[in-house]
Structure 1
Amino acid sequence: MPKRTKFLSRNPEKPSPRDRFWAVLANTPRLVQLVWQAAPRLLLLQLGITLSNALIPVAQLYISKLIVDQVVLELSQPGVDWTVLGRLVGLGLGITLAQVGLNQAETYTTQVLNDRFTLYANQILLKQAIRLDLAHYELPEFYDTLNRAQQSGSAYPVRVFETLIDLAGQSITFAGLLSLLVAFNPLLLLLLLLTSMPALWVGIRFSGVRFWLKRRQTESGRLAEYLQQVLTTQEFVKEVRLFNLGDYLLRQWQSIRLQFNREMAEVLARNAWLRFGVGLIANSGFYAAYAWVIVRTVQGAISLGDLTMYSGAFQQAQGLIQGILFQIALIYEFNLYVSQYFEFLNLQPQVVSPSDPIAFPNPMRRGLELRDVSFRYPGASEPTLHRINLTVKPGESIALVGMNGAGKTTLLKLLTRFYDVESGEITIDGIPLTAFDLEDLRRNVGVVFQDFSRYHLSVQDNIGFGDLRHRDDLDQIERAAQNAGATGVIADLERGYETILGKTFSDSAELSGGQWQKLGLARAFMTPAQVLILDEPTAALDAIAEYDLFQRFRQLTQDKMTFLVSHRFSTVRMADRIVVLEHGQIAELGSHAELMEMGGKYAQMFRLQASSYAGVAE
């Protein structure tokens, strides 16, 4: 049975700053690999563009120095040699044009890379969602984890990689400037570094505060999204209007969003004051260095060209130091969000196929057996099923009855291995269910639940999904529709099997509950399963339509083992045997006649329902 794992904890313990820092380093190789898998050629191209661009600022500064020095030289002698100046200006123009081209190329590669990775990251996330157990989807903590992964996974990994590339480019540019500045005065460079360091502390601190604020807001944010869905989707629109819920729900949504805005505004205000303070420190360091360059120029120690080059170099160096430190803070922040994507990818299904599966028996010989089967939902204090023992022969029809919560649907979920039993064993022909490949098992155990899916796709899809291998086999789809009594419904649709259902898309048609149910049953008749389970599949049909359907159903499934759940005893009595569940245990077992003769729980429920019909007739 799937267990509540540590990464689904409702209130995860907030790690220390040191632990978070090392977690960032641990995430980075995996993140780089993920982005590389999405678009390796684009990454190499973007890296080459960034590194080329990084060399341009140093070259521009040096060309500017040469131009200023050449101008001073020309002013000091008669006549002007325009050739040298022209070449220097032309060289500067060429470098600038190259920078413009590289910037445009970088913009293009960044956008294309973002698009490709967004597609790849969402594909990985959806694949992970498909492979996870049903139990995950019944835990609120799972939806918090999924929501955070959806918000973080598509953008932040690329942002980290782009930031790493930018950091590499800035480091190369800084190394070039460093070669200029060290020759002038290493102490001034140290001054610029020390006055820029507070920006790193502020960046990391603010990143952590903002991240944990958003993480705490996850569940409330999902509530706001749900309220927005209630206010804007067809499923709720009738009751929202009928009970005048619109203004009330809107106020609830607005309250959550306003609270989020207030909390973020407080964080942003504190950060603005801190950044103002570190900005004062950084600018003080730059102007101290700038003043010293001016002093050395006035003293005649360096030329005017040197003044231009060094002042520009100091200004750019300080900007680069702050930029490098800011990029490090961004990498830290983005990795915090990326960790939420990996948190989802780290979830592991507990119900898995064995490494060496056994083929499902075809045909079944001995049938199905449950031996002392008990099951408890994750987090539940009491078991839903307790020591269930039942043997079902091939071709036998079993009806499950009992009060709501007796365990009927849970028992059926165990037969399809949506969950694994807590204790006991379920076997087919003496082979445990856990020995079969999951796809093979579920191909042979077909289910139509009461809350069956209504796909807002074509009629052909809604039926063909019962067996994807024959989704394009219209003859088989038509037979399934006929067996489910759905041909009349489809004949009334303008485009027949190509009709799009629901109200989500244009040129679509909506069906009644009973019509949807017939399509759901047709989907079940598509399956080649040897075991067919119908869990309240006809709740939206009237009694006559349900009776006719089950008469046809019995004829079409004579060679199949069938389980059905229904609250209508006129249908239940057609089963070979009836299992009465009470408090998670089998209270009674037998045919309709045998159970009526026993005069127990089943007989009491049957007579109670029959008397209500008699009262209507009277």
Structure 2
Amino acid sequence: MTFTHILRYLTTNSKISAIAQKLSSSIAIFKNMPRLFRLVWSATPLFLLISVVLTLTSSLLPAAQIYISKLIVDQVVILVEAGVAVGVMVQALLPLVGAGFSLLVLQAILQQLDSYTTQVMSDRFLLYANTKMLEQATRLDLAHYESSEFHDILNRAQQSGSSYPMRVLRLSLTLLGQVTRLVGLLALLLRFNSLVFVLLLLSALPTFWVSVRFSERRFWMTRRQTPSRRLADYFGAVLTEPKYVKEVRLFNLGNHLVEQYHSIRDEFNRESQVIARRQSLAQVSIEMVAAIAFYSAYALVLWEAIRGLVTIGDLALYAGTFQQAQSATQGILTAIATLYEFNLYVSQYFEFLDLAPQVTSPRKPKSFPTPLKEGLVLQDVYFTYPGSEQPTLKDISLTVAPTECIALVGLNGSGKTTLLKLLTRLYDIDRGLITLDDIPLSAFRLSDLRRNIGVLFQDFARYALSAQDNIGFGDLPNRDNSQQVFRAANEAGADPVINELAHGYDTVLGKMFTGGVDLSGGQWQKIGLARAFMSQAQVLILDEPTAAVDAIAEHDLFERFRQLTRGKMTFLVSHRFSTVRMADRIVVLEKGEIIETGTHEQLMKKQGRYEEMFRLQAESYTTV
């Protein structure tokens, strides 16, 4: 039977044709392979080359070992039939036995070298892949992190990126070795009968079909479970993270949350069990097909041996070779099917890497004006959060002088913090224009713009690092400049707090790590303020800077603000009108629009919304 006949048979048989189509469609998912290998090459080129060479060399040894065994058997038969002496027989067989032993030793050495190379390559690539993912995370916009769909993508990337790229690489090398091994074995088998190739293929294709089919099912099951898995992980975090500990105990939430976690995970286990059971049943039938194919080939070789057409050595050669070739063929197709599954997971890693930020720096950025001369202008600004139908800000027009202090006042949800996010380009506006000295914000390099704006948001970060790091992050190039850190801490009133800690500015804040010290809300806010004061920025944004401090500390900070904000463009957001009054001008927002502007005295005389809010807050202090 020629190879042409084999192909014609495979394409006309409907069952096998369907399997062939499955093979063709599965190959399409391998489009990620070149990109993945480029990543590996970037991470560890030398060890990748060494691994390929070791794999190819090791894969050629089985065919050589089988052939030497065949030569030994034939030589023994010839020597026995010739009736030679034992000494002569040993002398004749010794070179062949020595060659076989040498191949075994070489194989053992290559296996250990491959194990070492694979471990080093895995460690280096894992570090590289995780670094790429973290770098991508820092590039993406704030809008991404406020989307549930993004967190599904991120979760899948974290699950897949930590292991599946390396699994694909290892399996690809295994596949390369299996193919090389099969080529060597087929070179021996095809000397006997080309029908053996058909038996090999027919016995292995069902394994491939079942593997691909259930690989797809497992992948789509896992992908579908992403939101539920994130919910289960969230329940786990609530049960274990310090910020939830008090309420979980006070409200007796423990058992309820454990039950929710267990219910989700148990459902996952049941779905996985169903797929595993069905695959096992299918695999039993496949093993029977493989056994029939092997003994059919064995019977064919045995019949040839009985007829005297092949030697006893050939019988041992072809029987052993077919069994190994069958195993190699099944291994190749199973590896392809598994690669198909693993590549589905790797595609989730690349899906995350392919996300593009919408807020970007221009190709030819303009320099940030130093010092500011004309100030900030917002003209007819509109902004709507992604996924929202109603604009958060609409028709915002405002002019701010270079050294003016502006207080933003309004009810929760009026758009105060959103406006500040637009000034720092955490989001881009939908319509209108924002300029600094007549230069649009979008014309500046992002890093340059943000370096010139000192920020303290209400939900500022509390890093589980040293006090020096927590403050120094406000101006990273000067993080280790102790004098500048001390100055910022002193200006924010944080210096006395830090000096009382056991290790001063080297004390780790928070309870996450051994030796860490937690601070009160007010103490943390002083640390956050110091971080904002680290920057020599011309624009200062303070979102609720006194929200967590007591009345005495507020008065102290109030006096500091007057001095620290002098000569800077400052934006204050506060519900405490004692802080608001220090501003040169007060802007009142309501439902995303500016409804009032003026000084404290002007707005009080106007008797509008500001006067109403001020009066209500004042009454809360005077009412007994």
- Indicate whether the TM-score tops 0.5: yes
- What CA distance in whole angstroms lies between the structure 2 residues aligned with 1:319 and 1:112? 29
The alignment partner of 2:566 has SS state of coil
Question: Are the counterparts in 2 of residues 117 and 154 from structure 1 also a CA contact under 8 Å?
Answer: no
Equivalent residue for 2:300, pick from 292, 301, 319: 292
Question: Are the counterparts in 1 of residues 468 and 505 from structure 2 also a CA contact under 8 Å?
Answer: yes
1:42 and 2:47 correspond = yes
Equivalent residue for 1:517, pick from 520, 525, 534: 525
Question: Are the counterparts in 2 of residues 385 and 407 from structure 1 also a CA contact under 8 Å?
Answer: yes
Q: For residue 224 of structure 2, what is the aligned residue in structure 1?
A: 216
- What CA distance in whole angstroms lies between the structure 1 residues aligned with 2:613 and 2:183? 86
Using a 3 Å threshold, how does the CA distance of structure 1 residues 441 and 406 change in structure 2: closer, same or farther?
A: same
Q: For residue 177 of structure 2, what is the aligned residue in structure 1?
A: 169
Once the 2 structures are TM-superposed, how far is the Cα of residue 547 of structure 1 from its aligned partner? 2.6
- What CA distance in whole angstroms lies between the structure 1 residues aligned with 2:547 and 2:25? 53
Once the 2 structures are TM-superposed, how far is the Cα of residue 22 of structure 1 from its aligned partner? 5.3
- What CA distance in whole angstroms lies between the structure 2 residues aligned with 1:116 and 1:579? 54
Using a 3 Å threshold, how does the CA distance of structure 1 residues 106 and 447 change in structure 2: closer, same or farther?
A: same
Once the 2 structures are TM-superposed, how far is the Cα of residue 189 of structure 1 from its aligned partner? 2.1
What is the identity, as a one-letter code, of the residue corresponding to 1:79?
A
Question: Are the counterparts in 2 of residues 133 and 351 from structure 1 also a CA contact under 8 Å?
Answer: yes
Q: For residue 5 of structure 1, what is the aligned residue in structure 2?
A: none
Q: Which runs of 5+ in 1 are unaligned?
A: 1-15
Map 1:495-506 to 2 at 5 A. 495-506=503-514
Q: For residue 13 of structure 1, what is the aligned residue in structure 2?
A: none
Once the 2 structures are TM-superposed, how far is the Cα of residue 74 of structure 1 from its aligned partner? 2.5
- What CA distance in whole angstroms lies between the structure 2 residues aligned with 1:38 and 1:274? 40
Q: For residue 79 of structure 1, what is the aligned residue in structure 2?
A: 85
What is the identity, as a one-letter code, of the residue corresponding to 1:606?
F
The alignment partner of 2:474 has SS state of coil
- What CA distance in whole angstroms lies between the structure 1 residues aligned with 2:22 and 2:57? 35
Once the 2 structures are TM-superposed, how far is the Cα of residue 20 of structure 1 from its aligned partner? 6.0
Question: Are the counterparts in 1 of residues 248 and 254 from structure 2 also a CA contact under 8 Å?
Answer: yes
Map 1:250-269 to 2 at 5 A. 250-269=258-277
Which shifted more, 28-37 or 455-464? Answer: 28-37
What is the identity, as a one-letter code, of the residue corresponding to 2:477?
R
TM-score (norm 2): 0.95
1:453 and 2:478 correspond = no
Q: For residue 120 of structure 1, what is the aligned residue in structure 2?
A: 128
Q: For residue 225 of structure 1, what is the aligned residue in structure 2?
A: 233
What is the identity, as a one-letter code, of the residue corresponding to 1:585?
E
What is the identity, as a one-letter code, of the residue corresponding to 1:433?
L
What is the identity, as a one-letter code, of the residue corresponding to 1:135?
A
Once the 2 structures are TM-superposed, how far is the Cα of residue 375 of structure 1 from its aligned partner? 0.2
Q: For residue 253 of structure 2, what is the aligned residue in structure 1?
A: 245
What is the identity, as a one-letter code, of the residue corresponding to 1:36?
W
1:567 and 2:563 correspond = no
- What CA distance in whole angstroms lies between the structure 2 residues aligned with 1:222 and 1:119? 24
Q: For residue 148 of structure 2, what is the aligned residue in structure 1?
A: 140
Question: Are the counterparts in 2 of residues 114 and 155 from structure 1 also a CA contact under 8 Å?
Answer: no
1:492 and 2:530 correspond = no
Map 1:271-286 to 2 at 5 A. 271-286=279-294
Equivalent residues, number: 601
1:415 and 2:420 correspond = no
Once the 2 structures are TM-superposed, how far is the Cα of residue 299 of structure 1 from its aligned partner? 2.1
What is the identity, as a one-letter code, of the residue corresponding to 1:220?
S
Once the 2 structures are TM-superposed, how far is the Cα of residue 23 of structure 1 from its aligned partner? 4.1
- What CA distance in whole angstroms lies between the structure 1 residues aligned with 2:403 and 2:92? 99
- What CA distance in whole angstroms lies between the structure 1 residues aligned with 2:28 and 2:409? 52
1:104-143 C-alpha deviation (Å, 9 max, x unpaired): 1111111111111110000000000000000000000111
What is the identity, as a one-letter code, of the residue corresponding to 2:75?
Q
Once the 2 structures are TM-superposed, how far is the Cα of residue 18 of structure 1 from its aligned partner? 8.7
- What CA distance in whole angstroms lies between the structure 2 residues aligned with 1:118 and 1:210? 24
Supply the RMSD in Å over aligned alpha carbons.
1.3
Q: For residue 604 of structure 1, what is the aligned residue in structure 2?
A: 612
- What CA distance in whole angstroms lies between the structure 1 residues aligned with 2:176 and 2:516? 53
Equivalent residue for 1:198, pick from 194, 198, 206: 206
Question: Are the counterparts in 1 of residues 27 and 340 from structure 2 also a CA contact under 8 Å?
Answer: no
Map 1:429-578 to 2 at 5 A. 429-578=437-586
Using a 3 Å threshold, how does the CA distance of structure 1 residues 560 and 17 change in structure 2: closer, same or farther?
A: farther
Q: For residue 401 of structure 2, what is the aligned residue in structure 1?
A: 393
1:198-220 C-alpha deviation (Å, 9 max, x unpaired): 11111111111111000001111
Which shifted more, 16-25 or 596-605? Answer: 16-25
Question: Are the counterparts in 1 of residues 22 and 209 from structure 2 also a CA contact under 8 Å?
Answer: no
Q: For residue 347 of structure 1, what is the aligned residue in structure 2?
A: 355
1:77-113 C-alpha deviation (Å, 9 max, x unpaired): 1412211212211111110011011111111111111
Equivalent residue for 1:327, pick from 327, 335, 338: 335
The alignment partner of 2:455 has SS state of strand
- What CA distance in whole angstroms lies between the structure 1 residues aligned with 2:100 and 2:92? 12
Question: Are the counterparts in 1 of residues 405 and 565 from structure 2 also a CA contact under 8 Å?
Answer: no
Q: For residue 115 of structure 2, what is the aligned residue in structure 1?
A: 107
- What CA distance in whole angstroms lies between the structure 1 residues aligned with 2:264 and 2:277? 20
The alignment partner of 1:466 has SS state of helix
- What CA distance in whole angstroms lies between the structure 1 residues aligned with 2:598 and 2:299? 100
What is the identity, as a one-letter code, of the residue corresponding to 2:85?
G
Q: For residue 381 of structure 2, what is the aligned residue in structure 1?
A: 373
Once the 2 structures are TM-superposed, how far is the Cα of residue 161 of structure 1 from its aligned partner? 2.2
What is the identity, as a one-letter code, of the residue corresponding to 1:413?
K
Once the 2 structures are TM-superposed, how far is the Cα of residue 162 of structure 1 from its aligned partner? 2.2
- What CA distance in whole angstroms lies between the structure 2 residues aligned with 1:279 and 1:482? 76
- What CA distance in whole angstroms lies between the structure 2 residues aligned with 1:17 and 1:387? 57
- What CA distance in whole angstroms lies between the structure 1 residues aligned with 2:533 and 2:178? 64
What is the identity, as a one-letter code, of the residue corresponding to 1:437?
R
Q: Percent identity?
A: 59
Equivalent residue for 1:305, pick from 310, 313, 328: 313
TM-score (norm 1): 0.96
The alignment partner of 1:388 has SS state of strand
Q: For residue 590 of structure 2, what is the aligned residue in structure 1?
A: 582
1:329-382 C-alpha deviation (Å, 9 max, x unpaired): 122111111100110011000100001111111000010010000100001010
Question: Are the counterparts in 2 of residues 128 and 345 from structure 1 also a CA contact under 8 Å?
Answer: yes
The alignment partner of 1:465 has SS state of helix
Using a 3 Å threshold, how does the CA distance of structure 1 residues 23 and 553 change in structure 2: closer, same or farther?
A: farther
